[in-house]
Structure 1
Amino acid sequence: MASLDATSADKNVVDRRKLPRNKDLTVVMRGARDRLMERAGIHHFDRELLFMHTRALIINSATIPLLIAMIVVIGVFAGFDRTIVLWAGFAIGLYAILGLLARHLEKTGLANEEIRKWQIIYLSGHFMTSLGWAYFTFLDCTACGTNLFPVIKAVVIILVMAITAIISSALRAAILAAFALPVLTYTLLAWTHFDNPVQATMVIMLVAGLAFFYLVATRLNQSVAITLALQAEKDALIAELETANAMSDEGRRRAEEANLAKSRFLASMSHELRTPLNAILGFSEVMAKEVLGPIQNGTYREYASDIHASGEHLLNLINEILDLSRIEAGRYSINDEPLLLTDIASECIHMMNLKARNKDIALIPQFETGMLRLTADERSIRQILLNLMANAVKFTPPNGKIYVKVGWTAGGGQYISVRDTGPGIPPEEIPIVLSAFGQGSIAIKNAEQGTGLGLPIVQALVHIHDGEFHLFSKLREGTEALATFPRSRVLQGTQAKQSKPFHKKAA
């Protein structure tokens, strides 16, 4: 048997369990995704990298000058002459110029068209600092020994390379601009003593160090660029989420306005349509029953009966629409009271017996014994049963049977079941018949077409009572509508006698 929980049914005729996407939101998110994919290149972050380099120079403006000052102090105690002091003043002045350039850029700001110009300015400033380190390679210390001082100079240059690689990683070419010349001058000065293994080793270390620290600066630059790219992606996604949230808020606002307009319309329709309908129903009934005297023309009498029947159909439709609207809006109030499902089922069977006999249909009650009272709204339970039985009578062929069952569920709750021997419903049409105004193909072919609101109202009323509604059907075998109510609504110790025992449990 095909089955489907009523909660999965949509409020439209078609089955739309996969909700459609908001087209505007989809376009916005796709555009954001495309823009983020285009930002993979590092060159898109040149401006940010230049600012990071500026901040690094300002923050660390005293680092290398302090190192130079330490070298001067050590050199003076080691026996250097005043040339080392002149070198220190020259080198610190060059770094001061580089720091002033950074502070100027931070103060004035950077336009997009000036990015390339400032990159060249910074590289030129780093090249100026290389003059100070090239000068350092020419220093000599007679008291340090011929083999020791070249090693000291190489170690100092490598140390400054490491510091510069870290500070200037946002502008990776800065390390080449700052140390290519010192390494070259050191190599040329050591050329005359290249047969000395210490000198040769220092040259190799300097060249290898320059290549290594350039690689380090490159990797750090790439890491910074990736971080900036991720930050840009995050910012873009946040912006798109804010856009989506704004669109969602606007959609919710419009939905609330539409719901309010619907409520106002239904309230107006309830008053404006029911008032004339009462007059139509009253006068048509008077005419059909010939209360004020006989109608000579039988055709007019039939017309009056047709008017009365159509008016009642329209009034029922209005009532069903209003009931469903109140349920959807959460304004459908129920009055819980202890009641016996078997008593209400018996009353409903009595009410539907005449209509069933007119079609030669047998209404067969099957009530379990020992039923307890259930806390529920009597009007709602009666409406559930009458809607289910009316559907069963409508679609059951002559000489058919309708079984009305009341019993216990396996979990200690109670159930109501209405099963007919009608044509059944195709499995793919069950979501349709459970939706508002939804009708299956068999119902459309049937002469007694309904409004398509009976089952949606039933499942909504069952859910209000914390229950579940299921529809089981098989073609050419019939349909069973099952409404179950939870154990929490059953009142203990209120057993009542039943006249027609039936011991089969609900499926």
Structure 2
Amino acid sequence: MPEQRPTSIDKNIVDRTKARRNSDVARAVRRTRDRLSEQAGTPVYDRELLKLHANAVLNTALAIPLMVLAVCIAGFAAGVGPDIVVWAFVTMTCYTGLSLVARKVVRTDMAGIETDTIKRAFLAAHAVSGLGWAYFAWLGCDECKIEQFMVLKAVVLLLVMAATAIMASALRGALVATFAAPVAVFVFLLAVSPEWEPVDAIMVGLLFVSLPFFTYVAGHLHSSTVMLLSFRAEKDMLIAELETAKSMSDEARRRAEEANLAKSRFLATMSHELRTPLNAILGFSEVMAGEVLGPLQNPTYKEYAGDIHASGRHLLHLINEILDLSRIEAGRYQLNEEPVTLEHIVEECCHLMELKARNKDIRIVQEFEPNLPRLFADERSLRQITLNLLSNAVKFAPSGSDVRVRIGWTAGGGQYVSIKDNGPGIPEEEIPVVLSAFGQGSIAIKSAEEGTGLGLPIVQGLLALHGGEFKLNSRLREGTEAIAIFPPQRVMEELPLVPQTRAPAATGGYRRSA
């Protein structure tokens, strides 16, 4: 029997069943780990260094030939003779061979580079280009008018040596392979020359010392290049991790969207299926509790019918709150906006909560600013916001205390509803909890207060639909103040009175009333 793949959701966020989606990320991570596992001196780093050296040679392919051309023109003008032209041609030919080797390396795939072979080819090309500079060191100028010709040749070689030290820093031994022969020629010419001046000896000594010095500089540049490769590998690793995190977040978002869609389908299907039997339960239990069809012989049955009716109403209220919150979160809550008076709505809600507050010996104190203009809002939403905040305040306010309800202007020109109680308060760290769906504070849990934890999230959602803001200020043993703020855009300005006019007179004109 073939093995079946489990249909349950994998523990990992990345979906292992979708290899195509995660293959690029897996390859990037694998390449980065392989690169980081290598150290300097291994084939991976050697190939990178050879690539860098080849790019440096190609990027400076015109610098040294231009210098050779400038020296050739200056020497020919000074009367060195045709030997300087021959030297320039030989040297440019040698550098052309070096450029061809570099171009071949650049065009070769990283995995196809044979490090030992390419290193030998580069060193051989550098040595050949060094023969051209050795020929330059050998050039004489018996008939030219340039004094200290030996010094000028040494200065040119020092400049080229410095440029080569920078260019060939990625390849160890390239500088020595290029300028070992020219320095040896200078030393030989000084040794066999019957007439040499102290400045010639100084320049030869300077050349002799400069070769190990520039080799030391090139070695430091080589170390910096290796460090640069390490940093680049770490950067690639970070990029790979970011790609992995992006893939994980995309997968998590896809699953969250699927879960949200499943929730919406469930609520859309079950809202009718749950409300229909609940309405029947509420109706029949009310009929039985009210003994509409006749008296119940056993009073306990009547008590049970009342409990069934109360439980059904609580369950229906819970279902309605869940559906309202789901519609708000899904953006499907429809606002029936119209001009409403905030004072009238809050006052009616206070009257509705008066009986419940009186049963707990709580007084609802109303402090309303007069002559507030109307709001352009959904009246049902404003009632729900006010009732949710009032019921919370009455629920947690101690007996004999006051619940203060205020409405008025905000500093920005909007309007607000503030409901404050003298209850136990909410710890600061628990405020995000009570503002989340089904979240309840520790005090509500300990006191076993009835509630589902959906009132404040619904208030937040309804205010957000109106472009408003909800603030919850609370301290332990000092009470809680809930403030619902409506933006200035919702406040309707008072329109000026339209001047009344009389009927047109016989002459055809109009007259305004006094």
* TM-score computed with the length of structure 1 as normaliser: 0.77
Deviation for aligned residue 1:303: 0.8
Higher RCO, 1 vs 2 (CA within 8 Å, ≥6 residues apart): 1
Distance in 1 between residues matched to 2:301 and 2:378, nearest whole Å: 43
Q: Cα 1:442–1:171, aligned 2, differ >3 Å: closer, same or farther?
A: closer
Instruction: Summarize the alignment of residues 244-255 of structure 1 with structure 2, pairs less than 5 Å apart.
Output: 244-255=245-256
Determine whether 1:380 maps to 2:381: yes
Cα contact 2:72–2:85 (8 A) shared by 1: no
**1:144-181 deviation digits (Å, cap 9, x = unpaired):** 69985544554554455355445534425212112113
Deviation for aligned residue 1:483: 2.0
Determine whether 1:168 maps to 2:168: yes
Q: Which residue of 1 aligns with 2:469?
A: 468
Determine whether 1:425 maps to 2:426: yes
Distance in 1 between residues matched to 2:37 and 2:159, nearest whole Å: 39
Distance in 2 between residues matched to 1:460 and 1:252, nearest whole Å: 22
**1:244-285 deviation digits (Å, cap 9, x = unpaired):** 333332222222222111111111221111111111111111
Q: Cα 1:398–1:32, aligned 2, differ >3 Å: closer, same or farther?
A: farther
Q: Cα 1:135–1:334, aligned 2, differ >3 Å: closer, same or farther?
A: closer
Instruction: Summarize the alignment of residues 3-402 of structure 1 with structure 2, pairs less than 5 Å apart.
Output: 45-55=45-55, 57=57, 60=61, 64=65, 67=68, 78=79, 98=98, 101-102=101-102, 105=105, 111=111, 114-131=114-131, 133-134=133-134, 137=137, 143=143, 148=148, 150-151=150-151, 153-155=153-155, 157-158=157-158, 160-162=160-162, 164-165=164-165, 167-192=167-192, 193=194, 196-215=197-216, 217-218=218-219, 221=222, 232=233, 234-402=235-403
Cα contact 1:32–1:240 (8 A) shared by 2: no
Q: Which residue of 2 aligns with 1:490?
A: 491
Deviation for aligned residue 1:308: 0.7
Amino acid at match of 1:208: V
Cα contact 2:425–2:480 (8 A) shared by 1: yes
Amino acid at match of 1:179: F
Cα contact 2:161–2:214 (8 A) shared by 1: yes
Q: Cα 1:140–1:364, aligned 2, differ >3 Å: closer, same or farther?
A: closer
Q: Which residue of 2 aligns with 1:502?
A: none
Which segment is superposed worse, 316-325 or 459-468? 459-468
Deviation for aligned residue 1:35: 8.8
Amino acid at match of 2:183: V
Q: Which residue of 1 aligns with 2:3?
A: none
Amino acid at match of 1:491: M
Deviation for aligned residue 1:414: 2.6
Amino acid at match of 1:369: P
Cα contact 1:97–1:125 (8 A) shared by 2: yes
Deviation for aligned residue 1:397: 4.0
Distance in 1 between residues matched to 2:369 and 2:30, nearest whole Å: 63
Q: Which residue of 1 aligns with 2:21?
A: none
Deviation for aligned residue 1:494: 8.3
Secondary structure class of the residue paired with 2:178: helix
Distance in 2 between residues matched to 1:402 and 1:325, nearest whole Å: 30
Cα contact 1:406–1:417 (8 A) shared by 2: yes
Cα contact 1:61–1:95 (8 A) shared by 2: no
Which segment is superposed worse, 362-371 or 32-41? 32-41
Deviation for aligned residue 1:356: 2.9
Q: Which residue of 2 aligns with 1:4?
A: none
Secondary structure class of the residue paired with 2:377: strand
Secondary structure class of the residue paired with 1:390: helix
Cα contact 1:32–1:237 (8 A) shared by 2: no
Deviation for aligned residue 1:302: 0.8
Deviation for aligned residue 1:484: 2.6
Which segment is superposed worse, 137-146 or 50-59? 137-146
Which segment is superposed worse, 54-63 or 258-267? 54-63
RMSD between aligned residues: 4.3
Distance in 2 between residues matched to 1:481 and 1:165, nearest whole Å: 73
**1:49-93 deviation digits (Å, cap 9, x = unpaired):** 3234335556738955993897599579958798x8987887677
Deviation for aligned residue 1:311: 0.5
Identical residues among aligned pairs (%): 56
Cα contact 2:141–2:149 (8 A) shared by 1: yes
Q: Which residue of 1 aligns with 2:6?
A: none
Distance in 2 between residues matched to 1:332 and 1:460, nearest whole Å: 10
Deviation for aligned residue 1:347: 1.9
**1:337-394 deviation digits (Å, cap 9, x = unpaired):** 2222222223223322333333333333333333332222111111122222222333
Distance in 2 between residues matched to 1:405 and 1:99, nearest whole Å: 84
Distance in 2 between residues matched to 1:411 and 1:483, nearest whole Å: 14
Unmatched runs of 5 consecutive residues or more in structure 2: 1-12, 16-25, 497-514
* TM-score computed with the length of structure 2 as normaliser: 0.76
Secondary structure class of the residue paired with 2:416: strand
